[in-house]
Amino acid sequence: MRDESVDLVYLDPPFNSNMRYNLVFESTKGQGADASIQAFDDSWTWGEASQNALLDIAGGTNRQLQVMMEAIHSAIGENPLMAYLAMMAVRLVELHRVLKPAGSLYLHCDPTASHYLKLVLDAVFGAENFRNEIVWKRTFAHGNVSRGYGDVTDTIYFYSKTKGFTWNQLYTRMSAAKADRVYAQSDSDGRRWQSVTLRNPSVRPNLHYPYTARNGVTYQPHPNGWSCNIERMQRYDEENRLHFPTKESGSLRLKMYEDESQGARLQSLWDDIPPLSSNAQERLGYPTQKPRALLERIIAASSNPGDVVLDPFCGCGTAVDAAQKLGRKWIGIDVTHIAIGMIEDRMRNGYPGIQFETLGVPRDLASAERLAVEDPHQFQQWVSWQVGGFPREKKGGDRGIDGWFNYLAAKNRIETGVISVKAGDHVTPNMVRDLGRVMARDKHRFGLFVMKGAPTRGMRDEAASQPVIETEFGRFPALQFVTLADLMNGQKPRLPTLISPVKKAARVETRASHQAGAQGSLL
């Protein structure tokens, strides 16, 4: 990416939590066990990659970062935490490079390593460019806390590249009940107001004057002086905005009308954006998914329409979704095909007709074949998403099953089909026969056999031995072939309407063994 090409960076990277985060796609009732696949493993090991990261920092131009990383390395040694910090440091250097001078960065983390990350951020951005430590209440009270305090908050560090950063002041609205208490008085026309002080917060001799109001009473200022000059005080009086005290010796105050108030300026404690509930409409099942309202707030405050927003750990794409909604351009980066597939589905379902470019995934037959050779597991994940299904976790013998797909079998009834993906060149009729046996054993009416080349006659004969399924939506072959050429040409298997597996997803965490005008790109 080009230097100074991005207006805003938000990153929600791994937290060094020593947790394994899984997606669980719930199969339909009676159609087999739930499908589980690892989203990412947030555990780290010191090794060659960590050593190379430190060498990259040592060979860079940021002397302050070099000293900081050497000090941390000397203090804590070569361990998982140091491996994590080395990984983060080299990436933060790159994020600083691509930010425009008026750009900002928000790093989302938790207490596991937040204190170390702030030291790294200070070294990369300069301590003078630290703006805020935002605390977000990410969950509700924990009832199972025994020794210690419930961990219910995340930290978001806000840094700018320079002092001339983009900033749009945001406000929070009070609840209706609180507004009733605060704006308890009203004029004859029904406009509600509260009484606020006209005292200056600091000593201002030039604003120290007696004021004779239209009620004929002369009011004296506070020793600090009034909060405005006499001309403005007169305008307040003419507009009936002064609140006269009951006693002449009382303090003159100002009426602040509810319908003119923008609300309270947003503070650094964010407890008004709740976590995603298990049945939230926007929940996709990604284990670390954040509410879109959280990202909308950040993007609205630190960018303008048409600006470029980058999320380099984009997961299921909440930041790019929020950027699209708010009319920003966006770039999302993730390391797995499962994340990119989820985002593609999310954006196309949420913004029909949207145009964006996905880089790093197969674009033609040759690149698809290359992925099959270089990383068969990622190839199987990618293929499962391409045919409208979802991949399975690779644990033990898979008996030829690499994924599932949900389809509308009848009105108000969803069933599950199976996917078998063959990344190699040696594919036989027996493999097709095995898929048919799995379908019969687990009572799946439909199965897809995905392969690089065209099926042989023997393979076609095996598929033909399976029945044609009659549904209220038409007739469909029970076992169908899908080739890479079919996928690259946009050809889809003949099936009843597919149901997005993402909407059926749930969250599992297990401890590891140790819009308009917006444009986007996914990498």
Task: Give the model confidence (pLDDT) of 453-509 as tens digits.
Answer: 899 999 999 999 999 998 888 899 999 999 999 999 988 899 999 887 664 443 333
**Among 480, 434, 423, 437, residue whose Cα is nearest residue 455:** 480
8 Å CB contact between 419 and 407 = no
The strand pairing partners of 19, in sequence order, are: 42, 511
> Across 12-16, 38-42, 157-161, 338-342, which has the greatest mean pLDDT?
157-161
* Every domain of the chain and the residues it spans: 6-25+37-171+266-335, 174-262, 365-511
CA distance 352 to 131: 37
- Exposed e or buried b per residue across 301-311, where buried means at least 16 C-beta atoms within 10 angstroms of its C-beta: bbbeeebbbbb
Tell me the pLDDT of the chain averaged across its residues.
88
Band of pLDDT at residue 173, cut at 50, 70 and 90: confident
Least confident of 38-47, 74-83, 508-517: 508-517
- Helix boundaries (H) for 220-361: 230-238, 292-302, 318-325, 337-350
The CATH label, of 1.10.490, 3.40.91, 3.40.710, 3.10.20, for the domain at 365-511 is 3.40.91
Band of pLDDT at residue 23, cut at 50, 70 and 90: low
Kindly give the interhelix angle for 376-386 and 365-374, rounded to the nearest 10 degrees: 130
CA distance 90 to 140: 34
How many CB atoms sit inside 10 A of residue 277's CB? Answer: 9
CA distance 240 to 136: 41
Band of pLDDT at residue 394, cut at 50, 70 and 90: low
Please count the residues of the chain: 523
> Across 122-131, 350-359, 423-432, which has the greatest mean pLDDT?
122-131
Please say if the pLDDT value at position 22 is more than 70: no
The strand pairing partners of 108, in sequence order, are: 156
Q: What is the pLDDT of residue 244?
A: 95
Q: What is the pLDDT of residue 37?
A: 55
What does CATH list as the number for 6-25+37-171+266-335? 3.40.50.150
Q: What is the pLDDT of residue 191?
A: 93
Mean pLDDT of 227-249: 94
Q: What is the pLDDT of residue 473?
A: 87
Instruction: Give the position of tokens 């998982």.
Output: 80
pTM across the whole model: 0.79
Measure CA of the first residue to CA of the last residue in the chain; give whole Å.
11
Please say if the pLDDT value at position 323 is more than 80: yes
H or E element, residue 477 = strand 474-477
Task: Give the model confidence (pLDDT) of 266-308 as tens digits.
Answer: 999 999 999 888 778 887 777 788 999 999 999 999 999 999 9
Q: What is the pLDDT of residue 506?
A: 37
Higher pLDDT, 521 or 165: 165
Higher pLDDT, 65 or 263: 65
Token pair in block for residue 519: 């444009």
Pairing type for strands 520-522 and 329-332 reads parallel
Cα radius of gyration rounded to whole Å, the chain = 30
CA distance 391 to 11: 26
Mean pLDDT of 92-101: 98
Q: What is the pLDDT of residue 14?
A: 86
Token pair in block for residue 90: 């080299």
8 Å CB contact between 58 and 66 = yes
Least confident of 16-20, 66-70, 72-76: 16-20
8 Å CB contact between 304 and 168 = yes
Q: What is the pLDDT of residue 437?
A: 93
Higher pLDDT, 24 or 6: 6
The number of C-alpha atoms within 13 Å of 88 and in the hemisphere containing its C-beta is 28
Task: Give the model confidence (pLDDT) of 333-392 as tens digits.
Answer: 998 888 888 899 899 989 999 999 999 888 888 998 898 888 888 888 889 888 988 887
Mean pLDDT of 173-186: 89
Contacts of 109 (CB under 8 A, 6+ apart): 13, 15, 117, 154, 155, 156, 157
The strand pairing partners of 404, in sequence order, are: 390, 418
Q: What is the pLDDT of residue 144?
A: 67
CA distance 365 to 370: 9
Q: What is the pLDDT of residue 523?
A: 75
